[in-house]
Structure 1
Amino acid sequence: MAQRIANIDWTATPPGLPRDWPASFKTALNMMLAARFPMFLAWGNEQTFFYNDAFIDILAARHPDALGRRFGDLADGTREAISDLVGKVFSGESVIHEGLPFPLKREELEDTDRFTASYSPVCDEANTVCGVLCICMETTHQVDTNQALQAEINWMRNMFEQAPAPMAVLLGPDHCYEISNPANQAFLGNRPVIGRGVKELFPEVIEQGFTDILDTVYRTGVPFNGRDMPINYQSADGTPALVYMNVIYHPIRDHHHDIIGIFVIAADTTHAVTATQALKTSEARLQSLINTIPQLIWSVSPKGKPTYFNQQWYAFTGMPDGALNGWDAVHPEDREPNLAQWKISVVQGTTYEVKNRLRHHSGEYRWTLVRAVPVRDEAGRITEWIGSNTDIHAQELASEALNEIDVRKTEFLAMLAHELRNPLAPISASAELLSLRARGDPPLVNASAIISRQVEHIVRLVEDLLDTSRVTRGLVRLDRRPLDIKQVIADAVEQVRPAIERRKHGLTLDLGADPVYVFGDHNRLIQVVVNLLDNAAKYTPDGGRVSVTIDADADEVSLCVADSGIGMAPELVQHVFDLFFQGERPLDRAQGGLGIGLSIVKSLTELHGGRIAASSPGPGQGSQFRLTLPRRSSIEAPEATRQSVNEAQSPRLRILMVDDNVDAAFTMALLLETMGHQVVIEHSAAAALEQHRQRPFDLYILDIGLPRMNGYELVGHLRSSGTAPDSLFVALSGYGQEQDREASARAGFDTHLVKPANLWQLQELVMERQKRAAVAGS
């Protein structure tokens, strides 16, 4: 700027040529130009404007035109203020302006800085004020700091006023209220407190020790934190009140670090304290209850770590109180499967339920039922697991005993069936022989029919007993396929028709014209319908009516068997499907039976996904049994009906009959010979093998229970010879359960016949052998 001043022609300006400038003016000008602070000089009556390099940023765009101009002309819109300022300085007064904003442009960035400007008079040699010297000090940071501090003070005051917790400032040793925010005022009942001491306002808290605490904080400067402190005080309306508070008393110090007061902040915890007290009372009550019940109660963390066991656990296991290693009490053989199931429950958050053996304090292991459920919070997260062990040792021992009894019962029934079937086989075969050979002798035909009916009755009783055992043990397997329910009814009616005709009942079938399909086991569904029809025939006096009707919709098929029989009382209807339940039994037991047929009907129906219901208007008014099954849309051709013996004239077969029961072997051989076949009878496996070596047979009928070498072993030897590849091997046994049939198949038999085998079964065997021969021949 000094060079710029020197380059200007000052001839026509108010200051004139520099050589004529007063010494005082030059001194002030040189001092200004040498200064590093922004400075300007307004000289003479015309207030000619001079400034230094540091002042250029303040002038911004007005530089360099401002040099030499009138000072008052540079202040746009503030000419009067400048005139007043100059007037004061020319009168000898120094003027200071603080925090003046000046827009600056530095490195292409515009900003507004703050300056403090000091205006001082400059005198000539005669001590006359001839100019104004202004020194500018940038105070932007100080101004910004002061503004921020004030803003913070305002914010803190606003927060103090808006704080939801009671706050106050107490000054002096009497703890007089200097500040009390709205929350504190609300707590105090909005009574006037400013300028008044705590002891004056609340004399009741003196004995409770609160003023002593305030005095200690004021004296020592050590803050005080109190939690859930009970306070009894008089509310604004004079009513005694008890509250619980969290309080903080913090000393306030002045700039000399002397304590002048106490900052108080409080929080009303009355609700939380009373809730906690109620929870503790509830927990104590629950703890007493948990230790009273007989169950072993425990809890674990969300990840399965044990956290608690009740006293019953420790009393039962004998483990020391507080021990949490619960798995140590579990039987070693049960730990791995229990842990595997437990991990699944923990991962999936599902109920955990197992049985295990738990070590008793006596040293023995006792069976317990273990069950645990997850406890979740409002967000559905598992917070813990609560579980229990229930001593079921007595029940398990009883269950094992019952299972043993059930096994023995099943074995007994199977043995009973075998022992009954063995003598029934020759009786049944003899009756069929009589029927075949006595066509012209009515008394003999009638006797044969009587024997056959009674044999069938005994066989049905035996089958019902075995079916009951199978159903109750879940051993019934269904061979399910699409069936026309009308064909099932027709096959069932064929079996029951003799009993219906014998009692001169009228039978009505309302089955509709179209096939109605279900998905089921053909033989088992026939068994169901036979039982219902047989039941209707038995409990309807001679000359009654029995009807079968079908109703079907898109989803279900309903079959109703109705009769005009003796009916049922309501209490009998409720139990009609119970096992071994029968109505009132007359001395003559004209209806017979064991009371298990309807129970089997219900079980088989449910296995098919159906339901059965019984109803009756009352005694003497007949009964209805409604069987409902899911409908099936699939269509299959009905099974071919059996041919009679006379219709199926077959080529002569060589048959080997092996049975150690001489009568059974003889009568069955007679039946087969009557059908035109050559039969060789043997009573031992060794003799049978000798016959086979001489010449193989077309059909082998082998009794399973042969002495020394049983039927399973015998069929293996016969098969392994390789000389009878197309022959049919038939197992004959008094045992007919599923496992017996499976054992026969594994041994190598093609078919398993249960004694007594009837004429139709024998005819089907012959037809099967003929089919096999036809296939082999082709």
Structure 2
Amino acid sequence: MFLAWGKSRTCIFNAASVSLLGEDYEKALGQPIHHLWAGLWSEIGTFFDEALKGNSGLVEDLEVPVCESGYFVRRWVTFSYSPVREDGKVVGVLCICSDRTDKVLLSRQIEQERNSLYEVFEKAPGFVAMTSGPEHRFTLANASYRKIVGGRNVLGRTVAEALPEIVKQGFIEVLDNVFRSGEPFVAHGIPIRLLNPTGSEEDRYIDILYAPRFGKNGRIMGIFCEGHDVTEHVKADKMTRVLQSELIHASRFTTMGNMAATLAHEINQPLAAISNFTAAALRFLADEKLGNAAAALKEIDANTHRAGRTIRSLRTMVSKKAGTIEVFELGRILADALALARLASPSASVASNVDPSIAVAGDRVQIEQVLLNLLRNAFEAVDGYQTPRIEINAYCDSNAIVITVADNGPGIQCQPIDSVFDSFVTTKAEGLGLGLFISRTIILAHGGRLWAENLSNGGARFNLRLPLVADRKLS
């Protein structure tokens, strides 16, 4: 507390004011107050003049230099001033002060941290926004957020007012649920239609997080929104899948092309047999040997079905109709793939131990393509061997469907062995080196695993694991 008394404004103060006067406070007692605070008088003198006129007032957070240990430091005070009267006349000014230095410094620190945080939000590569209240009124939106919404100024407006095009897209309901339940919402690559700067609607894809913001009382006060525009990534991913599908389809054609001569021979055999049995049947009918004619017709029917099976297998393998997920019998597609693959080495001994009731969930065409590739590689590996042998196993364990294809050929020469699955790695003179690479790509896309190993007694084994389906066996 300070008292400026009389015409000379003599300074009188109490002990609580010492901290504001500094280390020379003893010299201040009895001095005119305008001498004591000469450096500040241009700012505070008018207040004393007002008090001498009989007026009162309040001055908040005034910066005051104070000498401490020979150095001036800054302190902040808030003081009230009021006139002191004697016999009805104003004879002095009473100032009641409070040191606000700690609170001012804390307030400035909080403001600085708030500004720093705002700058971080503003420059963040992802979009950031905050809303308050159940109506979701924007209180913050950084540069990335303003950019994705077409440069619109959303501050102070509700989400529905600022972005009317998303009202019917379900986002308001999501915000309502987060505000009501307190549970965050996370989504990846979800589509959203937004107005661009030209005013036309544009389809985008975003990763987004909505998280509740809680007040001091523990109640939800608003929602924090953070996310990224992943439109280009989603488009690139879709294009990659299209190209991958084209590559897989081209690989099937390449496989069939490489087997063209063998397949032609396989089809010509039943066709030649049909021709011979047809001629024989005609002769038997002319000679009225009906029993012999009936036997010839049965052979024609059997060879017709044999050729038909081969053609159907070919049509399935070169079909571009891929991407259909279904549950199908493993044994059937394994038998079809084996029938095509063994044409490479018809003399090879095949031991097959396949549970016919195993069900697989996936793309039937692509899974058969993988099996054909593995079996064909095995038959080609043993071609020319004195006692060629192929062993096929398919069973269910507690975690997956397991399929193995083993041969007694020369084994895998690549080092490390896993590099056999790299693209453009081949040991065949006319191979592209894409078969195993594409096979692993297909299996990975089905949530499975494909790997190879050399056997201790010679040869190689390819191992394939696929996820179990809910009903892993067909009824």
Which protein is bigger by CA-based radius of gyration? 1
Normalising by structure 2, report the TM-score. Answer: 0.49
Normalising by structure 1, report the TM-score. Answer: 0.32
Determine which structure has greater relative contact order: mean sequence separation of CA pairs < 8 Å that are 6+ residues apart, divided by chain length: 2
